[in-house]
Structure formats: C-alpha cells, structure tokens
Chains A and B, each alone.
Chain A
Amino acid sequence: MDQETLSVEEVNRHVKLYLGVFAALLVLTAITVTVAFVDLGHGTNIGVALLIATAKASLVGLFFMHLKWERKSLHGLLLLTFFFFAGMIGLTVGGYWDTPNGTVHDRTPVEIQAIHHQSERSE
C-alpha cells in the first residue's frame, strides 16, 4: 500500500491501528517494569527485558514508521543496516573473549595490577 496515496477511509483505519499499537506499547512497558522486579536469575531477566524491548521496537517500526507498508527497496536498505549493526556488536563484544589464554579475563583487575607492579620492580 503506497503511503503517498492513501484514501481518507484508509487513513482512518490506520489511525485505529495506531491507537491499538499505543495501548500495546503501554501494556508492554508495564510488563517490562513488573518483570524487572521478579528475580528470574540475572541472565533471564536481561533476556526477557531485551525481548520485550525488541517487540516494542518492532511495533514502532512496523506501524508508526510504516515499514509494514513500505517498498522492498527500503527493507533491503534496513537489512543491510542490520547486517552492519550485528557485525559491529558481534565483533566488539566478541573481541572481549578473543584474548590469548591466561592474559586478561581469567585474572581479576587486582591480580593484573599486582603483576604490573611486579614487572615494574624487576625492571
């Protein structure tokens, strides 16, 4: 459906949809806050919160930003954006674990500092 040429009836139908999405977003916000106070285990809490946030973001994107009715060329552009976004997050966060064995992450910062001091003294 072309966004540029909607009839008044179609716009009115859209408006009803927007109000429905508004209600859904409010309900999902309430659920986010409620669930955050329930201890599901740290990882699960983070996962649930991000899952709900993604659902909310999808509602905003699909309906308020009209992606549901947009052209394929725009979807292609967004797919490319998502690819680069996921790549950036994956590489930077993944890089955290990509260190030689026994160097950084299996020692606490205090231990690392002690090693530094030791090497400074020996120099």
Chain B
Amino acid sequence: MSTAEIQYIETPRPDTGLTNGKIGIWLFLASEVMLFGALFSAYVLLRVGAETWPMGRDVLNIWLALVNTVVLITSSVTMVLAWAALMKNNYSEHKKFLALTFLCGLIFLGIKAVEYGQKFSHDLFPSTNNFLAIYFVLTGLHGLHVLGGMIVMLYFLLFGRKNWVERPKMYTNRIENTGLYWHFVDLVWIFLFPVLYLL
C-alpha cells in the first residue's frame, strides 16, 4: 500500500464510524439539498408572487411523468439490490441489477426527451412564462443529475470487475455510495412530480 493511499475507504474511520467515501458522498448530498432547496424556494416565490399560475396538469403531460416516477422508483430498488448482491458475494447478479438501473435511467431520460419535444413543438419554451422557466430549470437540472449517475454506473459496468476482484470491499462501498447519490436523485423527483405536475 503506497503512502498516498486514501485512508478508510474499506474500513470505517474509528472516530466517525464511517468510511471516508460515505462521509464524502453525504456531504456532497447535503450541498445538493441546498442547491435544489434554493430552486424550490425560487419556485414558491415565483408562484405566490404571480397573478395567475397554471395548474401543472393543464400544461404538462402528467401520465408520462407518472410513468417516469414508477421508472425512477423501480431504479432505486434495482440499485439497492445491486448493492445487496455484492454483500452476498454474487457479482453476476450485481451486474444484472446495475445494468437494469442504468436502463431505467435511460428510459427516464427518453421519456423526459419526449416531454420536452412535445412542449417545444407547441412553442412552449423556458422564455414563455415563469411556470415553464422554473419547470425547465428544475427538471433540466434533475435530468443532468440522472445523466451523471448513469455515467458513473456505465463506468462500473465497463471497468468495475477488476476493482471487485482486487478489492471487493472497496468496490462494494463505491456501489453503496453510488446508490446513495442515485436514491437522492429519486428523492428529488418524489417532490418535483407533485409540485410541478399535480398542484
């Protein structure tokens, strides 16, 4: 082990009781809470300050969004099952669930692209009104987060095996941390769906 090795990525640090990777991802998620929180307060301010505000379901396609909600919830389950498979030392099962999670992300973004396409074809753009502006900002930023998670998953699907064979504990922790991020992305959508589409 070289001296430049990052400490406590396999075993928990004695004082925090957590691996450094887990502390790191949770601190990152804390900053993400503030990022999305700021945009949610922007939404509230725009809405209470507006003379008229459309019902989301009159402008947006609620059924496509409902399918996307189910897709994202499903992907959270497959993600946690991918981690559980590693805990049971079953790499092939892990890879299957990780690939399914990636696929769910792809379906989510595909449906989102259809939704955006429908809006653009009806001349509905972020510049059209404040509702669409905040809709595109919130869902666009969320979509980028989905894409980011998928890039990490693709990396593990393509190059993860070597890491698993050499340092299984480290790989398992990396997948758990990837999962924490992915569940957070799901969690943000859980709020975006009713706020933008239903209310």
Chains A and B bind each other: yes
In the complex, the answer to whether B80 meets A18 with C-beta atoms within 8 Å is yes
Chain B CB within 10 Å, residue with most, of A8, A18, A80: A18
Chain A CB within 8 A of B73 CB: yes
A4 within 8 A of B: yes
A109 / chain B contacts, CB cutoff of 8 Å = 51
In the bound complex, residues from chain A placing their C-beta under 8 Å from that of B180 are: 65
Q: A71-B17, A92-B45, A96-B45 are in contact. Are A45 and B70 (CB under 8 A)?
A: no
Interface residues on B, range: 35 or more
Is A93 a contact of B41 with CB atoms below 8 Å? yes
CB distance from A26 to the nearest CB of B (A): 7
Cβ-defined partner of A60 (8 Å) among B76, B81, B87, B194: B76
By beta carbon, the residue of chain A nearest B184 is A65
CB of A115 closer than 8 Å to a CB of B: no
CB within 8 A of A53: which of B176, B183, B194?
Answer: B194
List B residues at the A interface (Cβ < 8 Å). Answer: 11-12, 16-19, 22-23, 26-27, 30, 33-34, 37-38, 40-42, 44-45, 48-49, 51, 57, 62, 66, 69-70, 73-74, 76-77, 79-81, 84, 87-88, 169, 173, 176, 179-180, 183-184, 186-187, 190-191, 193-195, 198-199
Question: What are 12 residue pairs bridging A and B, where the CB atoms are less than 8 Å apart in the complex?
Answer: A4-B173, A6-B87, A11-B88, A15-B81, A64-B79, A64-B179, A64-B186, A71-B17, A77-B27, A85-B37, A92-B42, A92-B44
